[in-house]
Amino acid sequence: MKIYFSNSDYLRNFDRFLASVDLSNPNFLSIESHPKWVSIHPAILTFAATLARRAGKNVIFGPLTAKSGSYLDRMGLFDFSSQKSPYSITRNEEAGRFIPLTQVRDADEQSRFVSDMIPLLHLPPEKTNAIKYVIGELVRNVLEHANAPDGAIVAAQYYKKSNSVRLGICDDGIGVRQSMSRNWPEKTLTDIDALKWALTPGISGTTRREGGTEDNAGAGLFFIKSIAKTTRDYFVIHSGSGVYKLLLSDARRKSLPPLIADPEKDPHTERNDAPPFQGTLVGIDLKLDGTPAFDLLLSGIRDVYSASVRERKKQKYKEPRFI
């Protein structure tokens, strides 16, 4: 396997990053980088850490500048590669600035990660609920659906200039298509089909029941995408050969962008020819000063969710039945 870190590996350039990825030979990983400096989204770091863990001791880092190497060291990438970092750095306090690559395997580690995220938000407590929900849902989805023995790898970073948080989570599990196809085989013929179906409110991989179950309503990824849309930010999900990337909503509109149940109708790009990754990667950007009140957002999402489930049930009962 091979990946390349550039000086602009953000979600808006995710396809360009994937163009540098080679996932053949999963027992070996080569990590190369821009000759001067790197700028890497936490989601891409979690992806690299997942591949490094998969390759075990067979990880080789190409030439790194001291600045880039120190950054990768501080974010913890060497810890997942079984290769000792060649850099001796003074580890600055991370609280309120970033969360390095962290493994989350159970509910206790999930709660600890959510708690560590709070200082990153730089918001009063009443305005952090939506963000905490996003983080909890991302991790919970992995623990419940991915069948990943090692759980997920997460990372986050705060950017003062834009007052935003960037978050990534990656697992080495069965992937979205396999998870969803157990109950929805006719809707998940390809990886991109599975991603869009998983983003549809009221659809859960745990049941064929419209609206999901009491424990899993099939709203997690839809909620996360909706928050990114309301703050006019990027959201990316990659699993198998499928990639769905939410594009920025029109910033000239003063009102909140409308929430849409059908992911096809949101401004986005999609592809089904990405390097086939067994697992799931999710990345999201969140502008903190643009996050609407949690109660207002939750109410709007519930309205769209309920309307979507009712409409699908209505269409289901209209289908002809042959005896």
pLDDT at residue 77, rounded to an integer: 94
pLDDT band at 290 (very low <50, low <70, confident <90, very high): low
The pLDDT tens digits of the residues spanning 188-203 come to 899 999 999 999 887 7
pLDDT at 66: 79
For residue 96, the model assigns a pLDDT of 62
For residue 308, name the pLDDT band (cuts at 50, 70, 90). low
| 242 pLDDT above the threshold of 50 | yes
pLDDT at 124 over 90: no
User: Measured between alpha carbons, how far apart are the two ends of the chain, in Å?
Assistant: 53
Mean pLDDT across 52-66: 88
Mean pLDDT of the region 73-78:
91
Q: How many other C-beta atoms are found inside a 10 Å radius of the C-beta of residue 46?
A: 28
The residue extents of the domains of the chain are 1-87, 94-323
Average pLDDT rounded to a whole number, residues 64-93: 80
CA distance 174 to 171: 9
pLDDT at position 241, please? Answer: 97
Q: What is the CATH number of domain 94-323?
A: 3.30.565.10
The secondary structure of 190-254, three-state, reads CHHHHHHHHCCCCCCCCCCCCCCCCCCCCCHHHHHHHHHHHCCCCEEEEEECEEEEECCCCCCCC
pLDDT digits (tens, 9 = 90+) for 132-175: 776 777 787 777 777 888 889 999 998 888 888 899 999 999 99
Output 112 or 301, whichever has higher pLDDT. 112
